[in-house]
Amino acid sequence: ILNVEQSPQSLHVQEGDSTNFTCSFPSSNFYALHWYRWETAKSPEALFVMTLNGDEKKKGRISATLNTKEGYSYLYIKGSQPEDSATYLCASPANFGNEKLTFGTGTRLTIIP
């Protein structure tokens, strides 16, 4: 059973501040790491899919890094805005070519205006 963990469980950040949170996963048999944003009453949407150690990806004010040797990924949000309020999920497939994803419990981010 693949164990994917996220911390913190929830986070309140002042508008304009930057923040980051963590996803941990087993470093052995790693294949890919996904980040999703899930806003209330909407579908989860993919932010990043990362596969290589040292990967860094960026989408606007959001970026992510990947360390497969130590089994963690960071998601960074620069200059938080109210629209960033959401639950951020990370997920990983159990093995190569496996379409099933195992999700972490998520980090619920609330931006305080």
Partner 1 sequence: SAVISQKPSRDICQRGTSLTIQCQVDSQVTMMFWYRQQPGQSLTLIATANQGSEATYESGFVIDKFPISRPNLTFSTLTVSNMSPEDSSIYLCSVRPIHRRGMNTEAFFGQGTRLTVV
Task: Provide the binding-site residues for partner 1, judged by CB under 8 A.
Answer: 4, 31-32, 34, 36, 41-46, 49, 51, 89, 91, 93, 96-97, 99-106
Distance of CA 55 to the CA centre of its chain: 13
Smallest gap from Cβ 38 to partner 1, in A, equals 8
Based on CB atoms, which residue is closest to partner 1, 48 or 80?
48
Based on CB atoms, which residue is closest to partner 1, 81 or 95?
95
Indicate the SS3 state at residue 46: strand
DSSP string, 3-30: --EEE-SEEEEETT--EEEEEE--STT-
Based on CB atoms, which residue is closest to partner 1, 19 or 107?
107
Based on CB atoms, which residue is closest to partner 1, 63 or 93?
93
Q: Residue 34 is inside which H or E element, if any?
A: strand 33-38
Smallest gap from Cβ 32 to partner 1, in A, equals 4
The phi, psi pair for 34, rounded to 5°, reads -110, 145
Smallest gap from Cβ 9 to partner 1, in A, equals 8
- Whether 27 and 68 have beta carbons less than 8 Å apart is answered as yes
Smallest gap from Cβ 43 to partner 1, in A, equals 4
